Structure 1
Amino acid sequence: MHSREKMRAKNTALWNEQAGPIMEAFFSHTLEPMAILDAEFNFIRVNDAYAKIASRESDDFIGENHFDLYPHEENERIFRSVVDNKKPYLALAKPFEHPDQPERGTTYWNWKLFPILDYKGAIKYLVFTLEDVTAETRAKERLKEANEKLEKRARQLQKMSAALSAAEDRERERLSEVLHDDLQQRLVAAKFQINIAASRSNMNEDVAEQLEEAGKLLDGAIKKSRNLSHELCPPVLSQYGLGAAFEWLAVEMGDLYDLTLEVIIGTEAEPDTEEIRSFAFKSVRELVFNAVKHAGVDRVRVNMQRSGEQIQIIVSDEGKGFDVDSVLGGANKGFGLLSMRERLDVLGGSLLIKSSAGEGSEFVICLPGEESNETEREAVS
């Protein structure tokens, strides 16, 4: 009799001698793939569930060595450590490639190897159980890959949004300069020429009236051009900074709406980058306008301070207040506030809103105080 056949007969006899009928029934009928090995990793017994996953008959395994059939250096080291330490080992979603079934590709298994000791503490058997988690693991990998793609796309869209906003700021500044440096100068020059013509003493009365009316129209056009230039991008922002722009805004709000805008600027509170200064000014101006329209107040406070590496701007009033969840979740979904919050996310900042009906409102804008060194995100494919 060949040595392998002798080993098979010996292991079968050993199992039949020591495994009682109850154990045999349990082993044979359990749905969990299970194998019994000796301390050298030779198969003593495998159940039908185990044989099925290998597309073999149960008897084909008896006397074979596990690692002759399924060579795997890492797993063999683990098996030997179980023998040496006499402690069980649990593997979760362990990748495995069947050497005799390459078409299956990489499969994933939860498996457990635990020793059965005799009364002397020596290893009598090794019980090896398997659970195929290939479908679940592949589904998780697909979900992870899909989430990574979504996150990448979200970052790309955020970057596009930031780029578009920056382009909008540049265009606003350009148009403001055109209005201020070109159109307004032309209108002022035209008004000057009309004033010269109107000063002539021998002018026909009808012509004088027409010139006076033309002068009034030019005054209106100059004022409108100046206001439009400031709305697009007040020159004071680029020339003197954010604090000065808030002071200018206070004067404007007082002139236009009889609103007292209290401005408090802390030491070294000025943001470093033009992008953040521009965004901060537009955000604060929008919040102040909202207070005028909705809060029913004649006083608003703007407080800009540096806190560590952040710039914190608090816009507060003691007006009507509102339910934050209702506004952000309503029909218009607080579009301006949501847009502001999304842009802040891109810039590395945040927006905290504190308000309730009858209790006033407080908007806390947190912005990075220094230019971010974050690695450039992926370009849109």
Structure 2
Amino acid sequence: MATILIVDDKPINRRLLVTLLPRKHYRTLEAADGAEALALLRRDAVDLVICDILMPTMDGYELVRELRRDPATARIPVIFYTAKYERWEAERLEQLGGVVRHLTKGVDPEEILLAVEKALHDATTRPYPLPAEAYDREHLRLLMDKLAQHVDELEVANAQLRAEVREREMAEAALRDSEARLREVTITLEAQVAARTAESNARAAQLGALTLELLHAEESERRRVAQVMHDSLQQRLAAAKLRLDIARSRISDTALLQHIRQAGELIDESMEEARSLTSQLSPLVLYNLGLAAALAWLGQQMQEQHGLAVKVQAAPDANPSSEETAVLLFHAVRELLFNVVKHAEVPEARVILEGIHGAVRVTVEDQGKGFDPAATATLDVSKRGFGLFSIRERLEAIGGQFTVESAPGRGTCVYLVAPEAAIAAPPTPPLTLHPEPVPVSEGGLHAIRVLLADDHPVVRSGLVALLHDYPDIEVIGEAIDGVMALNMARQLKPDVVLMDVTMPRMNGIDATRLIVSELPNVRVIGLSMHGNEQMAASMRRAGAVAYLHKGGSPDALVAAIHDAVAQAAPSP
């Protein structure tokens, strides 16, 4: 197998020959100039050299001269493969220097193969003669001609460059004029943009104020409607249920009892629907017990209604002092949990309430399917209610932050931060209160003395009518709020206080705490329209011995009164 050395400073030219020659089973070597080729020739046996003429460091003619001077390489035939010289110039130098063939770049590949085959076939065992002096003269003359040609070409290029410089100078002058005009336009535009920006900022501030006003108005209306339903509709339903139960205890007609039972069931259903609607509009547990308890209640609701197990981590005193902040965060968490139910496809989520640097932060996270937060910016916000966009808008309107960390398949973590909301425990009413006039009922000495505390007259009258049928129970007074209940308890020393939870001036939880603290022999029974465990637990922590629903069975209420007294009685 013949070895052929290809010498060319252009890799693309070498690649053509390296691809072509192995078709005839030739082995190829490559060099980028004459000097590199000489180094290869000293290390490897070569049968033929194909080289370019004009190359850096050492051109083709210098390479031929060095080959002929070295006995070890003097016998190697050389083919010039170039496009730089005219053919007659190259052929004259070939005759003087012993180059066997000249090929013009771009020639047909078959002609290259034939030339290589002939050069290898005609290779002589005798060394080629050293180039004559005329070889050097011709080489020098050829280089000088090429140099002169390049000088002429350079002069033409310089003339073109000067013309281009003049054109560029004219263009630069025109550009400077344009830049001056552009600066004037820019200054004008910047002034307009500044004015528009100031106007936009003012409108954004107005929008933020309107957003806060809208949030406040919306929540006020929600709370008003919920309060009306709680204070009027639910209380009247509870009183009606009490009256029905009283009537049922006094009637023996079976048909009439059946109608009373059916009416009671309808009242129970109506009370449940009213209670559910009230909670959806504005959960009273949020206002009575704070955000921490409201979030725990919300977790139970999500479990019962949607099958989503929500783990709530919140200290009982981690409540924002601002009611508006608590309301905003509660609604935001509820919307986020709805999103978990609808989109996350997981059975559980976690809610964390904490205070950080004078602010409140709520974290809502799940390990569900996740989403691309950037994609939510393209959704139609008008169809999403209190959704992500609305939560962000409302939080930013009060200077808060809304951050979402999520990715498809990696769950979602949402951070809600409301600033300037100090963490504070619910205020404790003062222990020193002024006595108020107390309405007192006459009764026997041995009856269980009961004090009623409820701000709804229709409920109090119903309870009085119910307990009147029990000779061992005496209603000794009625209080319309927590303050009045505390003063009456101090004055009357009742055996049992039936305590409503939601009342003006002082709620039932705080009143219970103070009564039990000052009067340990008085037993308090919580009585409320609220059926949630948070409210019941708060009453029990305050000291209540029982917690009953107003729409519950009268027998259960009477039994609770008897049990409370039995617990207080000394052991025999």
Q: 2-side partners of 1:247 and 1:187: how far apart? A: 28
> Higher RCO, 1 or 2 (CA under 8 Å, sep at least 6)?
1
**Cα displacement (A) at 1:199:** 3.4
Q: 1-side partners of 2:406 and 2:294: how far apart? A: 26
The one-letter code of the counterpart of 2:227 is E
The one-letter code of the counterpart of 2:276 is N
Is 1:366 paired with 2:406?
no
Q: 1-side partners of 2:295 and 2:182: how far apart? A: 65
The one-letter code of the counterpart of 1:175 is V
C-alpha distance 131-284 of structure 1, shift in aligned 2 (>3 A): closer
2:132 is matched with which residue?
A: none
Q: 1:149 aligns with which of 185, 191, 199?
A: 199
Higher gyration radius (CA): 2
1:178 is matched with which residue?
A: 228
1:138 is matched with which residue?
A: 188
**Preserved CA contact (<8 Å) 1:267 1:305:** no
C-alpha distance 147-257 of structure 1, shift in aligned 2 (>3 A): same
C-alpha distance 32-237 of structure 1, shift in aligned 2 (>3 A): closer
Is 1:338 paired with 2:389?
yes
Q: 2-side partners of 1:353 and 1:31: how far apart? A: 52
- After TM superposition, the structure 1 = structure 2 runs for residues 187-226 of structure 1, keeping only pairs within 5 Å, are 187-203=237-253, 205=255, 207-226=256-275
Q: 2-side partners of 1:180 and 1:132: how far apart? A: 68
The one-letter code of the counterpart of 1:222 is M
Cα deviation per residue 1:113-136 (whole Å; 9 max; x = unaligned)? xxxxxxxxxxxxxxxxx9895443
Q: 2-side partners of 1:235 and 1:339: how far apart? A: 23
The one-letter code of the counterpart of 1:341 is R
Q: 2-side partners of 1:132 and 1:329: how far apart? A: 36
Q: Which has the higher strand share?
A: 1
C-alpha distance 133-340 of structure 1, shift in aligned 2 (>3 A): same
1:236 is matched with which residue?
A: 285
**Preserved CA contact (<8 Å) 2:292 2:315:** no
TM-score normalised per structure 1: 0.59
**Preserved CA contact (<8 Å) 1:305 1:311:** yes
Cα deviation per residue 1:337-358 (whole Å; 9 max; x = unaligned)? 0011011111111111122222
- After TM superposition, the structure 1 = structure 2 runs for residues 50-129 of structure 1, keeping only pairs within 5 Å, are none
Structure 1 range deviating more: 289-298 or 331-340: 331-340
Identity %: 33
1:271 is matched with which residue?
A: 320
**Cα displacement (A) at 1:228:** 1.3
1:356 is matched with which residue?
A: 407
Cα deviation per residue 1:73-114 (whole Å; 9 max; x = unaligned)? xxxxxxxxxxxxxxxxxxxxxxxxxxxxxxxxxxxxx9xxxx
C-alpha distance 339-208 of structure 1, shift in aligned 2 (>3 A): same
**Cα displacement (A) at 1:172:** 1.5
Q: 1-side partners of 2:212 and 2:350: how far apart? A: 28
Q: 2:363 aligns with which of 314, 317, 322?
A: 314
1:75 is matched with which residue?
A: none
**Preserved CA contact (<8 Å) 2:325 2:421:** no
2:300 is matched with which residue?
A: 251
Q: Which runs of 5+ in 1 are unaligned?
A: 1-25, 34-48, 50-109, 111-129, 372-381
C-alpha distance 197-151 of structure 1, shift in aligned 2 (>3 A): same
Q: Which runs of 5+ in 2 are unaligned?
A: 1-168, 423-572
Give the number of aligned pairs: 248
- Per the alignment, in what secondary structure is the counterpart of residue 370 of structure 1? coil
**Preserved CA contact (<8 Å) 1:261 1:301:** yes
- Per the alignment, in what secondary structure is the counterpart of residue 294 of structure 2? helix
**Preserved CA contact (<8 Å) 1:236 1:245:** yes
- Per the alignment, in what secondary structure is the counterpart of residue 417 of structure 2? strand
- Per the alignment, in what secondary structure is the counterpart of residue 225 of structure 1? helix
- Per the alignment, in what secondary structure is the counterpart of residue 319 of structure 2? coil
C-alpha distance 142-326 of structure 1, shift in aligned 2 (>3 A): closer
C-alpha distance 195-269 of structure 1, shift in aligned 2 (>3 A): closer
Q: 2-side partners of 1:200 and 1:253: how far apart? A: 42
2:329 is matched with which residue?
A: 280
- After TM superposition, the structure 1 = structure 2 runs for residues 24-39 of structure 1, keeping only pairs within 5 Å, are none
